[in-house]
Amino acid sequence: MAKRTTKPKKNENSDNENPNAHIQGAGLVQEQPITKTLELNFMPYAISVILSRAIPEIDGFKPSHRKLLYTMYNMGLLKGARIKSANIVGRTMQLNPHGDASIYDTMVRLSRGNEALLHPFVDSKGNFGKAYSRNMAYAASRYTEAKLEAICAELFGDIDKDTVDFVPNYDNSMQEPTLLPVSFPNILCNCNLGIAVGMTSNICSFNLREICEATEALIKDEQADISSIIKGPDFVGGGKILYDHRTFNEIYENGRGSVKVRAVYEYDKANNCIDIKQIPPTTTSEAIIDKVIELVKANKAREIADIRDETDKTGLKITIDLKRGAGADADRLMNRLYRTTPLEDSFGCNFNILVGGTLMVLGVRGILIEWIGFRMECVTRRVIFDLNKAKKRLHLLEGLSLILLDIDKAIKIVRETEVEAEVVPNLMIGFGIDEVQAEYVAEIKLRHLNREYILKRLEDIDDLKKAIADMEDILGNKRRVKKIIIDELRAVSKKYGMDRRSEIVYDNDDDIIEEEDVVDAYPVTFFFTKEGYFKKITPQSLRMSANHKLKEGDEIISEIEADNSYELLFFSDKCQVYKAKADDFKDTKASSLGDYVAGVLGADEGENIIAMIPLKEYEGNMLFFFENGKAAKVDIKTYETKTNRKKLLNAYSDKSPLVALFFAPRDDMFKIGTTNGRYLLVNSAMIPQKTTKNTQGVQAITLRKNHFVKEVVRSDGSEFVNAKRYMSKNIPAAGAVLAAEDQGRQISLLDE
């Protein structure tokens, strides 16, 4: 039975009258501007991610961190023994309903065992993986145990004194804090990475002692020079930080910049190996090993015999075994590896944080100033809480003092009152006290209704009055609030401060390495063929086999002995030159075709490489000879570039077809042959030097109509019986027809 479909009726005005339309197979489709879709659907999601998930707040935590730590605090894990991580994860889901996997991931990163934070918050037991290794995975939550580190006391010390606001959790079953009343600038003491929608936050860690000292300086003077206190970032994995005054100042003031971090190594002379014990925080040991192996396979680190990961319980260790005789070059090898592997990497700082629900990009100074304001509010709210509590206590004790005047009267009132509900009103009437005081007196146990107990309680009145006066003075004096914060900062610094783990390197001279030092300059021979194939072969390989494999019809047109540190200029038939380094090409054998240069260097379609010029230094001239008889001499320095440009346009003139090009380190003699059998010997000193690459040059040989230059080769004139016959004192010159005595000795293109 055929399936029946109902076609919608056509409506000429449907586009104007009804924005909804039925599309077969798609159902009802509602037209809506993309801007409205973004506003209604995407923007709420983006705002939620930014404000409630990815970006840290002024206390240094994202919501997921805060929910986990607060749950552990409520579980009593600040003191006592560790418990199974699975138990903690399950309890945390009362505040964070995003799944146990994400909660456990958060716990792992906060743990001491993972070594991701300079000041970890979770005291861990078991396998929590390592932040510097992608292969060392952490164990499941049922196998590990955890509790809070001692430093967490600085996070929750005043949380029960109304220092921060509380809000209901996702199902209104309990309350959770919006911030933690941290007593030190935690936001700058641990690395924090957050990826939101359209923005990221990447905060590097600083030394706690330096941060506390800088905060104290800013409390005393907002214009204090914090750069003289904070030496630079301090990473949990150590490393050497290359000092850059401009970059550091940009981070301190604007919160953006890129910090270069190097690995730290030791050379073991006895075993002829390099031990790497600290690496940048942005990489892993596996990434470093993979890159080094890649360099070894490409013959760019020939000193390396082996590399392996020897990380154990004592910490990170990557060992590089050196070949015999390479020990003296360990520092040079590491300098090269710094430039070509993640052993030197950059930490990109982007201090995006939330302050009072507002997204801000602040420098270290700005963050510390905002934290000071936040902490002053916390301390003020704590003092207000303690003040109100003290006033309530004083009020109760003042009511109790009135009972002391006649204890028997109080007992009589309670005993003679027939209805329980009238006890409090009768005490209020009998002693002239208010309901709160009367309720307090009525709740005193019978055994405490004696003069001794009441007198002991009343001894607290004077102390309470002094405390209340002191707290009221604090609230009216910002200096005293700041003094409290400073005292707390000093206590935290003394108790939890550590020496710097990352060394600041102020002298970066070793970072400037000449290219010839970077490349291993071992001897090689360059071969370039007519079809554009390039081979780089070592002498050892040539001794084993010197028989070249070539494409049918191809031939070698250049064979030059050099070394691996040379630069190569490849000229094309499109008047372009491609720059490369010999080290960019792999060593090969004579039995291979070699590298097709046009493909390797990304030449244009239909473009052919016609010549290879190896250079040790940019000294000498390039000589170009054209069919119209002109010759151009261009200073080779014209092709030298300070940047790593791989392609130069207008490498030579395109006004006439090119016959030949040569690199002449010094002036030399060249033989020019024409299609009408005339020859001219020209010394390159007669050709004026130009500084423009695409110059047309000067006329070297005069040509008769319908004739042109056919060949140009280097020559010392020995192929002629009388070489002076073909020379001229000036150019242009017509040259001379081949003499009878030179017939048979001269091989020209006309004879082919």
Active site residues per annotation: 143
Which distant-in-sequence residues (6+ apart) come within 8 Å of 194 by Cβ?
Answer: 54, 55, 56, 62, 200, 201, 202, 352
What does the block give as tokens for 547? 């028989």
Size (the chain), residues: 752
Cis peptide before 732 (omega within 30 of 0): yes
Give φ, ψ of 339 to 5 degrees: -85, -20
H-helix or E-strand containing 752?
A: none
CA distances from 143 to 85, 100, 171, 303 (A): 8, 15, 30, 44
Q: Strands of 577-581's sheet, edge to edge?
A: 609-615, 567-572, 577-581, 647-648
423: phi > 0 → left, psi -120 to 50 → alpha, else beta; which? alpha
CA-closest candidate to residue 681, choices 715, 730, 655, 642: 715
CA-closest candidate to residue 551, choices 530, 572, 568: 530
Q: Using an 8 Å Cβ cutoff, are 526 and 559 in contact?
A: yes
Segments in 563-626 forming alpha helices (H):
597-600
Q: Which residues pair with 534 in a beta bridge?
A: 528, 595
CA atoms within 13 A on the CB side of 424: 9
Q: What is residue 743's three-state secondary structure?
A: coil
Distance separating alpha carbons of residues 438 and 655, to the nearest angstrom: 112
CA distances from 750 to 87, 422, 675, 723, 738 (A): 93, 136, 7, 20, 12
Distance separating alpha carbons of residues 443 and 362, to the nearest angstrom: 55
Q: Using an 8 Å Cβ cutoff, are 597 and 585 in contact?
A: no
Distance separating alpha carbons of residues 189 and 121, to the nearest angstrom: 12
CA-closest candidate to residue 167, choices 155, 159, 175: 175
Distance separating alpha carbons of residues 102 and 400, to the nearest angstrom: 55
Give φ, ψ of 159 to 5 degrees: -70, -20
Q: Using an 8 Å Cβ cutoff, are 719 and 673 in contact?
A: no
CA-closest candidate to residue 693, choices 632, 603, 625, 620: 632
Distance separating alpha carbons of residues 117 and 109, to the nearest angstrom: 7
Q: Using an 8 Å Cβ cutoff, are 127 and 114 in contact?
A: no
Distance separating alpha carbons of residues 515 and 579, to the nearest angstrom: 15
Distance separating alpha carbons of residues 18 and 28, to the nearest angstrom: 12
What does the block give as tokens for 383? 């003092």
CA-closest candidate to residue 296, choices 261, 331, 341, 358: 341
Q: Which residues of 245-276 are buried (b: 16+ CB within 10 A; e: fewer)?
A: eebbebbbbbbbbebbbbbbbebeeeebbbbb
Taking only Cα atoms into account, the Rg of the chain, rounded to an integer number of angstroms, comes to 42
